[in-house]
Structure 1
């Protein structure tokens, strides 16, 4: 498994297609949540993903969002692991890679995320703290969380 970190303009057409496909599989179909996934933020984000080279497919993905697009700090969103690869530590490695992107590309700024509520313990284990009450986003409970880097 190898991680890739690319700006939008560095992605190949096939990678854009694969990213869109796996995001739809997880967030729209699996979570039964119809929403507009491509929201124009992708164009300004870093895209972090790993591939299973033997099967030639993306197995985990996140996007690193610059500050002032979602929050007044950089953010990490669209975090996913393909259902066939879950519970193998890929989510943790993906988040650590994404945090490094923020440290290296955004002057080590703090991070705010909108986490699915059921994953808050996972994010706590990475140092994130809850900063909001539970709220509904597209029919799924969420909570805002913050990671202090500076």
Structure 2
């Protein structure tokens, strides 16, 4: 597998179309969750694309967001893994890559995510703790989770 980070302005029209179709196919269609995926956050996000070969098909994706204000939290989201690539640890690899990138670029920032509630234990392995009550997001139960600084680097290697 091959991975590469992109700023929005580095994405070609074809790559952006592939990302949006990939996210829609999984997050909207497969998960039967009608929600506004096009939220303009992509414009300021960094995008991690994982393909099955150097010029191959997209099999994994996520985006990271810098803190919106000084001292605020960073974030990541829109994590998607193609059906044929699931069960091999790619989701954990994506999360670890996001946290590594955020730590390098925003070393003092905590990380806050809106996680699907059934993935609470998965994110807990990275040191995230739930905050507040679960909430509905597009028909799927979510929960806010926070990774406090300093991060537990040992958790990222498990």
Fold match (TM-score > 0.5): yes
Kindly provide the CA deviation profile for residues 99-121 of structure 1, in whole angstroms up to 9, marking residues without a partner as x: 11111122341100000001111
Match of 2:77 in 1: 77
Match of 2:97 in 1: 97
SS in 1 for 2:68: coil
- In structure 2, relative to structure 1, the CA distance for the partners of 1:55 and 1:10 (3 Å cut) is closer
Match of 1:113 in 2: 113
Residue 35 of structure 1 deviates from its aligned partner by 1.8
Question: Quick one: distance in 2 between partners of 1:74 and 1:16?
Answer: 23
Aligned residues, how many?
148
Question: Quick one: distance in 1 between partners of 2:136 and 2:27?
Answer: 15
Match of 2:155 in 1: none
- In structure 2, relative to structure 1, the CA distance for the partners of 1:118 and 1:62 (3 Å cut) is same
TM-score, scaled to structure 1: 0.92
Kindly provide the CA deviation profile for residues 15-48 of structure 1, in whole angstroms up to 9, marking residues without a partner as x: 1111101100011100111122111110000001
- 1:41 equivalenced with 2:36 (yes/no): no
Residue 149 of structure 1 deviates from its aligned partner by 2.7
SS in 2 for 1:132: strand
Question: Quick one: distance in 1 between partners of 2:117 and 2:55?
Answer: 32
Question: Quick one: distance in 2 between partners of 1:73 and 1:139?
Answer: 26
TM-score, scaled to structure 2: 0.88
Contact (CA 8 Å) 1:76, 1:98: kept in 2 or not?
yes
Residue 66 of structure 1 deviates from its aligned partner by 2.1
Contact (CA 8 Å) 1:2, 1:51: kept in 2 or not?
yes
Instruction: Give the CA RMSD over aligned residues.
Output: 1.6
Unaligned runs of 5+ in 2: 151-158
Question: Quick one: distance in 2 between partners of 1:105 and 1:43?
Answer: 18
Match of 2:61 in 1: 61
Contact (CA 8 Å) 2:67, 2:109: kept in 1 or not?
no
